[in-house]
Structure 1
Amino acid sequence: MNFSHQVPAGTVLRLHDVHKAYGRRPVLRGVSLDVPSGCLLGIVGANGASKSTLLRILVGQAAADSGTVRCRGRIGYCPQEAVLHPALTVREHVRFFQAAYRLDDCGRVWQLLEQLRFDESPRSRLHTLSGGTRQKLNLALGLMHDPEVLLLDEPYQGFDWETYLRFWDIARSLCERGRAVVVVSHLAHDRERLDVLHRLRDGVLEAEHGAGAGGGA
């Protein structure tokens, strides 16, 4: 797998001919995709379509058998299952990720939590929070280093309606600042909010038509 900052101007993430198999069972059969800056892009696929495998390759958690992934700048990742420790407080999580990202301050994460109407105390331990509240923290932590590309796996699972709408406001504002947002889901009911929509089926990505609140495909 080749991670490189040398991608064409205007493109922040490029996959080319990515293949992956488990034993003799191929799951990705030549996935290619260009993600331009300022794009809100969706990838949908049925359960078992290997969306999680594709995401793990994109964030470097798994290696492809062949093909390339090239990225310009930082990647943010918000997994479906929050990578949070139940015994730690909200503030302890923020400090941990601040150190991991090597940030001088963590004001951005508190601003994002305020936008998401995160009402819990920074001293609250994770095991006391609801699933939707943990997901708010999960999203804010994935964004606190202001990545050029944000990869989201079922990001609004557990959100109430107001938070769901705020999520899309944040996603659109990121794109207006030139960031790229990739939303991976098993449903395509948000297609009107997306600039571009692709379907992962039989190990390849197929462009879907009719997406585009933001002027994409």
Structure 2
Amino acid sequence: MDVEDVHHSYRQHTVLRGVDLRLRPGTLAGIVGENGAGKTTLLKILSGELRPDRGSVLHHGRFGYCPQSVVLDDSFTVRQHLELFKNAFGLADLGRGEEVMEALAFTEYLDQRAGLLSGGSRQKLNLTLALMHDPDVLLLDEPYQGFDWETYLRFWELATRLRDAGRSILVVSHLAYDIDRLDLLWRLESGRLHLQERRTEAAS
């Protein structure tokens, strides 16, 4: 994903003042920022939901997006959600989705209705739907919200495997958790991204 000189304002209030970001294959990166820093606006622009006033966002390959707000039909079972997204993505089977569910210890809920799932389980489904078409670039908004400690660790194991398989992953959060797991960490402040941390392996 290549982001160049992205600006955005709401009337007289400038939120983004020239955001530049390059996410290479095989990178696990994070963006943190306090409430009101512009994370929501940046996320909408990166996901294509909002057009920037100036600048460009280019996705290379398949793109996946896991929003913080879970978009599910409470009357559908987990399996029905997977079938719906399988058809939307034009997939031959549910193989990849089932792999993600197994990684998150979620397979036993296949025939459970979404409305009966706990908050953490709904987030597991949300993440599965974002990953089931095996995207090359994955944008995650507070992806571990509602996870218990075991699932939290499973999430990072999954993210690391995806990175090692050449995928690009961007985690956006208001707090910097486990920054030692990241190759790159930016802080969104005053409308710009500021590089905070970088692993030695990523710099070589």
Alignment TM-score, normalising by the size of structure 1:
0.90
Partner-residue secondary structure (3-state), 2:201:
coil
Q: Does 1:41 align with 2:34?
A: no
Aligned-partner Cα distance in 1 for 2:64–2:169? 9
Aligned-pair CA distance for 1:88: 1.1
The one-character-per-residue Cα deviations of 1:104-162 (angstroms, maximum 9, x if unpaired) are 11111111111111154322111101000111111111000010100000000111111
- Give the superposed CA RMSD: 1.2
Of the structure 1 ranges 40-49 and 81-90, higher mean CA displacement relative to structure 2 is found in 81-90
* Equivalent position of 1:140 in the other structure: 128
Q: Which amino acid aligns with 1:46?
A: E
Matched residue type, 1:216: A
Contact 1:19 1:28 in 2 (8 A): yes
Tell me if the contact between 1:191 and 1:197 (Cα under 8 Å) persists in the aligned partners: yes
Give me the whole-angstrom Cα distance separating, in 1, the residues matched to 2:152 and 2:189. 27
In 1, Cα distance between equivalents of 2:161 and 2:71: 25
Structure 2 counterpart of 1:92, from 80, 103, 125: 80
For residue 194 of structure 1, what is the aligned residue in structure 2?
A: 182
- 2: CA distance between counterparts of 1:130 and 1:94? 18
Query: SS of the residue aligned with 2:23?
Result: strand
Mapped partners of 1:141, 1:114: distance in 2: 13
AA at the equivalent of 1:193? R
Find the aligned partners of 2:172 and 2:119 in 1 and give their Cα distance. 19
Deviation at 1:191, TM superposition (A): 0.8
Is residue 2:193 matched to residue 1:216? no
Which stretch has the larger CA shift, 197-206 or 114-123?
Answer: 114-123
Superposition misfits of 4+ residues, deviation over 6 angstroms: none
Aligned match for 2:173, one of 182, 185, 201 = 185
List per-residue Cα deviations over 1:44-72 (Å, max 9, x = no partner): 00011111111111111110001011111
**Counterpart residue identity of residue 17, structure 1:** D
Aligned to 2:70: 82
Identity of aligned residues (%): 54
Bigger proportion of residues as helix = 2
Q: Partner of 1:4 in structure 2? A: none
2:103 is aligned with 1:115: yes
Q: Does 1:131 align with 2:131?
A: no
Which segments of 5 or more consecutive residues in structure 1 lack a partner in the other structure? 1-12
Spell out, residue by residue over 1:79-122, the C-alpha distance to the aligned partner (whole angstroms, 9 max, x if none).
11111111111111001111111111111111111111115432
Distance 1:189 1:95 in 2: 33
Query: Counterparts of 1:40 and 1:121 in 2: how far apart (Å)?
Result: 29
Tell me, which stretches of 5 or more residues in structure 2 are unaligned?
none
Which stretch shows the higher mean deviation, 188-197 or 115-124? 115-124
